């Protein structure tokens, strides 16, 4: 969130002109105040938790969370479950990319096809995917397959929709140039529509990562043999707040890493859009 000078002016309080040292600190203010706020929060949490001012099994405290993280890593428990979750994710996500982009492209190219499926996709796009967890478990079992299908569904729909809009919004000029230089239909798709839609497709992937991780964890929490969501369930029945915080951190990092990774890939495959 970069604030442009004009936006800074939009803030209401007309302030006195900042003094020189304040001006020098200005770019750092966000970091200073932000980190300060987080530190204050952590310290208060630590004191309240460790002194048992509020029952510490309910809220835990930062050092206990770290200790639990270490214990879960050291015992191999975390990795044993995380690897299953990652496997389910990969099995669902990659087919979703391939089929999602293909169908999105088809929707953009054929209005008939779009009309045929539009109501179904619109309904699935707005519906909370987690509501489908129980039926997928009934259909595909309690193991890995139902989770992979959940990831697939959660990722597939935003990818289809983003690809479709991306292709539809490729500007007309480059397509005109391709035609003028004699490009065939397939060349127009491969050299025009797909690269032009790439930024939108990557945005769809970012959206899909977040959605599918949430669905995956929820599905594992509903019923599973192994996985991060399964661990959440296990520790919640034994009132272990520290371990749950660890798991929350792990899951958040997964989503964060996924988005960072996609941004990296985007900067590599679509430098023209990342540079803008």
Q: How far is CA 67 from the centre of its chain?
A: 27
Q: Where are the alpha helices (DSSP H) in 75-193?
A: 77-109, 111-126, 133-140, 144-168, 172-180, 185-188
The set of residues, in sequence order, having a beta carbon less than 8 Å from that of 223 and lying 6+ positions away, is 137, 142
Region near other proteins per CB under 8 A, out of 17-25, 73-81, 82-90, 134-142: 134-142
CA–CA–CA angle 95, 135, 129 (5° rounding): 60
CB of 189 to other proteins, least distance (A): 8
Choice from 65, 72, 105, 108 touching other proteins (CB under 8 A):
108
Choice from 75, 176, 261, 264 touching other proteins (CB under 8 A):
176
Residue 265 interacting with other proteins (CB under 8 A): no
CB of 43 to other proteins, least distance (A): 15
**Which two tokens mark 118?**
């539009």
Residue 201 interacting with other proteins (CB under 8 A): no
Residue 111 interacting with other proteins (CB under 8 A): yes
* Closest CA relative to residue 212, chosen from 81, 97, 83, 77: 97
Residue 252 interacting with other proteins (CB under 8 A): yes
Residue 123 interacting with other proteins (CB under 8 A): yes
Q: How many CB atoms lie within 10 A of CB 106?
A: 16
Choice from 118, 257, 265, 267 touching other proteins (CB under 8 A):
118
Q: Which is nearer to other proteins, 46 or 233 (CB)?
A: 233
Rg (CA), the chain: 24
Q: Which is nearer to other proteins, 97 or 254 (CB)?
A: 254
Q: Under rule CB under 8 A, which residues in 77-96 are in contact with other proteins?
A: none
Region near other proteins per CB under 8 A, out of 83-91, 92-100, 148-156, 178-186: 178-186
Residue 185 interacting with other proteins (CB under 8 A): yes
Residue 180 interacting with other proteins (CB under 8 A): yes
Relative orientation angle of helices 241-269 and 194-222, to the nearest 10 degrees: 170
Judge contact between 64 and 183, C-beta under 8 A.
Answer: no
3-state secondary structure of 29: helix
């Amino acid at each position: 969130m970069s604030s442009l000078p004009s936006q800074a002016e939009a803030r209401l309080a007309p302030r006195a002109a900042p003094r020189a040292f304040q001006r020098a600190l200005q770019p750092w203010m966000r970091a200073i105040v932000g980190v300060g706020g987080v530190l204050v929060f952590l310290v208060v949490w630590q004191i309240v938790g460790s002194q048992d001012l509020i029952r510490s099994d309910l809220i835990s405290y930062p050092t206990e969370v770290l200790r639990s993280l270490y214990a879960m890593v050291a015992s191999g428990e975390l990795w044993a479950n995380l690897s299953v979750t990652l496997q389910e994710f990969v099995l669902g996500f990659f087919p979703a990319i391939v089929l999602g982009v293909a169908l999105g492209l088809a929707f953009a190219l054929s209005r008939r096809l779009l009309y045929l499926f539009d109501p179904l996709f619109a309904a699935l796009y707005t519906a909370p995917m987690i509501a489908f967890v129980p039926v997928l478990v009934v259909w595909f079992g309690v193991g890995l397959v139902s989770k992979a299908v959940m990831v697939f569904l959660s990722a597939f729909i935003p990818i289809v929709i983003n690809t479709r809009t991306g292709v539809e919004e490729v500007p007309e000029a480059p397509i005109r140039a391709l035609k003028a230089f004699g490009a065939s239909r397939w060349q127009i798709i491969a050299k025009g529509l797909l690269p032009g839609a790439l930024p939108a497709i990557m945005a769809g992937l970012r959206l899909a990562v977040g959605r599918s991780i949430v669905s995956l964890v929820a599905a594992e929490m509903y019923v599973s043999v192994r996985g991060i969501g399964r661990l959440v369930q296990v520790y919640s029945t034994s009132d272990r707040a520290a371990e749950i915080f660890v798991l929350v951190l792990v899951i958040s990092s997964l989503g964060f890493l996924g988005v960072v990774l996609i941004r990296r890939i985007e900067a590599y495959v679509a430098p023209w859009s990342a540079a803008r």
